[in-house]
Structure 1
Amino acid sequence: MVEIDPARLERWIDGFSQRHGVPERSLRDDPGAVPLVLSAPDGAVAEVLAWAPGADDPFGSVELPERLGLVLVRRGGYAVGLAEGEQLTDHHCGTRYVQSRTAAGGWSQQRFARRRGNQADALVGRVVEQAAGRLLGPKGALVDGLVVGGDKALVRQVLQESVLTPLTVLARREFYDLPDPRLKVLQETLRRGRATRIRIVEPASP
C-alpha cells in the first residue's frame, strides 16, 4: 500500500507504466468494486482505492472531498481543524490532562477511576464544543469529509454526541497511530488524510 499526494496521481501512473508497461485502466462504479484498477502487461496490478466509505455511499469514491474536518483527541490534548484543499483555514489545539495510570498514595481504585472518568468527560466535552463551533453551521456540516484520529475510545465518545450527528454521516478516514495532537500533528494528519491510497500487487516471479 502506498499513499501519494492526489495531485501526483497521473505522474505516479506514468512511473507505474514505465516500470510495468502501459496498463489497461478499468473504471468501476458497481457496488463493492475498487473504483480504478490498473492492469499492466507484466501482471502487476494497482488498485486506486476509494477515498473513504460514507454512510450513504458505503463503497466510496476516488474523489477527495474538497473541504475536510479534522478531529484529533488523545489523553494529552486535542486538535480540531477545517481545511480547504491542502490548507488549514481554521483550527484550534488544546491540552486536557487525563490520567492513564493509577495514582501513587492512598487513593482507592474506585476514587481514581471516578476522577479519571471525570477528566475524560471534560476532555470530550471540550472537543465536542470545538468541533461543533468550527465544523458545523446553521444548515449542517461545513465540510464534505471527516478525518479523525488519536485515541479510538475517546474519538468514539466524541462522535456519539448528538450535536455532531451531521459529521458522523460523512465519509471518514481514521488514524489511530498519532502522538498528542499539536498543530504540527494536525498538519501532518491533513496531508495523510488527503492522500490517495494505492494497493499494489507485484507480478509473480518467473
Structure 2
Amino acid sequence: MTRCLEIAPERIGRWLDGFAERHDGARLTEEGAVVRAEGGDGAVAVGTSFPHDPLGVVLLRRGGYAVGLARDGRLTAHKCGTRYVQSRTAAGGWSQQRFARRRGNQADELVRAVSDHVLRLLPAGAGLRGMVVGGDRALVRDVLADPRLGHLVDLPRRELYDVPDPRLAVLQEAVRRGRAVWVDLDEPDTSG
C-alpha cells in the first residue's frame, strides 16, 4: 500500500524517528533533497524536500487569483482577488463564437492583471529561491510567459494544480504544502 504524505520540514526528523520505531529500525540514505528510509520490515519511505526560501506563490483559476511572497513559511506580502471569466456556453453558431471570443478576452485580461501583481509582489530584487504555482495550468503558463517575469522562469518550482479557487486561506495552505517534504510511503501488507 502506497501513500503520499506532506510533512512540514520542521517535523521530518521526528517523523523519520517514528518511521524507524514502527518498522523495525530504518536505514537512511540522503542524496540532495531526497531522503530514503528503508525499514527492517520492508517498508520504504522516499521524501523529497523543497528547501527554497523565500518562495513566490502564484495561484490562478478562471475567476480568482492569489499571489504571495513567503519567508520562513509565512506570507510577508500577498494579493488575492477575483476576476470574471465567462464559462463555456451550450449556444451554437455565431453565439458560440462570440462567447468564445469574449471568454478569451476576459482570460487575457485576467492574465495581464495577475502578471502585474506578480511583477509588483515578486520583483527581480526579491531574492526568490523557489516558486509554488497552482490552479489552471494554461493560465499559470501564460502569466509566467510574460517577458517582464523572466527572472521567475528558471526558479525551482512546486506545482499544486489541485488547489480550489484561490483565496487567502488557499494561499496560506499552498505555502504550507509548497514547503512540505513530500513523502511516498510504501508499507508491506500485514493484513494476510
TM-score (ref. length: structure 1): 0.84
**Identity %, equivalent residues:** 55
Asked if the contact 1:43/1:204 (under 8 Å) is kept, the reply is no
Asked if the contact 2:49/2:179 (under 8 Å) is kept, the reply is no
Q: Distance in 2 between matches of 1:20 and 1:13?
A: 10
Asked if the contact 2:66/2:167 (under 8 Å) is kept, the reply is yes
Tell me the CA shift for residue 201 of structure 1.
Answer: 1.8
Tell me the CA shift for residue 98 of structure 1.
Answer: 0.5
Match 1:143 to one of 120, 123, 128: 128
Q: Distance in 2 between matches of 1:37 and 1:143?
A: 28
Tell me the CA shift for residue 103 of structure 1.
Answer: 7.5
Q: Which has the higher helix share?
A: 2
Q: Look up the SS of the partner of 1:108 in the other structure.
A: helix
Quickly say closer, same or farther: Cα 1:77–1:107, change in 2 above 3 A.
farther
Aligned ranges 1:113-192 → 2 under 5 Å: 113-137=100-124, 139=125, 142-192=127-177
Q: Distance in 2 between matches of 1:113 and 1:38?
A: 51
Q: Give the structure 2 partner of residue 59 of structure 1.
A: none
Q: Distance in 1 between matches of 2:29 and 2:78?
A: 39
The answer as to 2:89 corresponding to 1:102 is yes
Q: Larger relative contact order (C-alpha < 8 A, sep ≥ 6)?
A: 2
Gaps of at least 5 residues in structure 1 are: 52-63
Q: Distance in 1 between matches of 2:30 and 2:55?
A: 25
Q: Give the structure 2 partner of residue 199 of structure 1.
A: 184
Q: Give the structure 2 partner of residue 57 of structure 1.
A: none
Q: Give the structure 2 partner of residue 23 of structure 1.
A: 26
TM-score (ref. length: structure 2): 0.90
Q: Look up the SS of the partner of 2:86 in the other structure.
A: coil
Asked if the contact 2:46/2:184 (under 8 Å) is kept, the reply is yes
Gaps of at least 5 residues in structure 2 are: none
Asked if the contact 1:77/1:94 (under 8 Å) is kept, the reply is yes
Q: Look up the SS of the partner of 2:121 in the other structure.
A: helix
Note the alpha carbon deviations across 1:34-56, whole angstroms, 9 max, x for none.
722111211111111243xxxxx
Letter in 1 for 2:169: K
Tell me the CA shift for residue 142 of structure 1.
Answer: 3.0
Tell me the CA shift for residue 105 of structure 1.
Answer: 10
Asked if the contact 1:68/1:144 (under 8 Å) is kept, the reply is yes
Q: Distance in 2 between matches of 1:97 and 1:104?
A: 19
Match 2:9 to one of 6, 20, 26: 6
Tell me the CA shift for residue 18 of structure 1.
Answer: 1.0
Tell me the CA shift for residue 180 of structure 1.
Answer: 1.4
Q: Distance in 2 between matches of 1:78 and 1:183?
A: 10
Tell me the CA shift for residue 10 of structure 1.
Answer: 0.8
Tell me the CA shift for residue 107 of structure 1.
Answer: 6.0
Tell me the CA shift for residue 203 of structure 1.
Answer: 3.0
Between the two proteins, the alignment pairs up a number of residues equal to 188
Tell me the CA shift for residue 163 of structure 1.
Answer: 1.2
Q: Look up the SS of the partner of 2:70 in the other structure.
A: strand
Asked if the contact 2:68/2:75 (under 8 Å) is kept, the reply is yes
Q: Distance in 2 between matches of 1:106 and 1:202?
A: 55
Asked if the contact 1:47/1:199 (under 8 Å) is kept, the reply is yes
**What is the aligned-residue RMSD (CA, Å)?**
2.0
